[in-house]
Amino acid sequence: MAAALELFSTRDAEDVSIDDVAAAAGASRALVYHYFGGKQELYVAALRSAAEQLESRLRPHDGGRPLDELASGLTRYFDFVEEHAAGFAALLRGGPANRAGEVGEIVDGVRRRLFRLIQKQMRVEEPSPVLRTTLRSWIASVETAGLDWLEHRDVERATLEKMLIDHMVALLGVAASYDGDVARLLERLA
């Protein structure tokens, strides 16, 4: 799995063959087929493994203030993005598989778990529709910013991370004008 993740992280999935993975792992082609059945199954297994790695990195470590926890998690998120650049880009841009299938389920599952982590960091039991929309919008913004940063790298990563935290605060500020619960949350966070 480590060899497959490395290859999918450095090259587009379409450009990786079972032979490439077998050679990188020091295993036979037959052995790779035995465990994974084919390239699509191997790709899905690699994505699941990457999703688990990302999620384990994003779990709060220090139990500090919610925005500090969010900033720390964002740094770990961008560490992952940087380490798995090609695979991250391929995954979010659609990859070789049908996004409505297993790959789409993996991506959506990661997004749902990220949402719950952020919700937990903000100490919110049940988000209002306005807060739910705001948090999901921010997650999409982080993904888009990650893709843009990988493509251009013309913004310092630390600046981008700070900007995204400020973006969250700004989004919450707008949402607060529509929802009293969000206004109270924003006061707690500030």
Q: In the structure, what pLDDT confidence band is assigned to residue 4 with cuts at 50, 70 and 90?
A: confident
* Region of residue 179 (phi > 0: left; psi between -120 and 50: alpha; otherwise: beta): beta
Report d(CA 163, CA 145) in Å as an integer.
Answer: 10
**Dihedral sign, CA of 74, 77, 78, 79?**
positive
The per-residue DSSP string of 131-144 comes to HHHHHHHHHHHHHH
Residue 62, pLDDT above cutoff 70 = no
The string of pLDDT tens digits covering residues 74-133 is 999 999 989 888 777 766 765 544 456 888 888 888 899 899 999 988 999 999 999 999
1-46 and 59-189 agree in CATH topology: no
Report d(CA 168, CA 76) in Å as an integer.
Answer: 17
Domain extent listing, the chain: 1-46, 59-189
Structure tokens at 11: 């090259």
- Give the pLDDT score at 58: 82
CATH of 59-189, one of 3.10.129.10, 3.30.420.10, 3.40.710.10, 1.10.357.10: 1.10.357.10
- Give the pLDDT score at 100: 63
Q: Mean pLDDT, the chain, as a whole number? A: 88
Q: How far is CA 36 from the centre of its chain?
A: 24
How large a percentage of the chain has pLDDT more than 90?
Answer: 52
How large a percentage of the chain has pLDDT more than 70?
Answer: 93
- Give the pLDDT score at 180: 98
- Give the pLDDT score at 146: 94
- Give the pLDDT score at 53: 82
Helix 180-189 with 66-83: angle, nearest 10 deg: 80
More confident residue, 134 or 61: 134
The CATH H-level (homologous superfamily) assignment of domain 1-46 is: Homeodomain-like (1.10.10.60)
- Give the pLDDT score at 143: 94
- Give the pLDDT score at 86: 72
Query: Of the segments 28-37, 117-126, 161-170, which one has the largest average pLDDT value?
Result: 161-170
Residue 19, pLDDT above cutoff 90 = yes
- Give the pLDDT score at 98: 47
More confident residue, 163 or 73: 163
**Tokens 């384990």, residue located:** 56
Q: Are 73 and 113 in contact (CB under 8 A)?
A: no
**Eight-class DSSP state of 14:** G
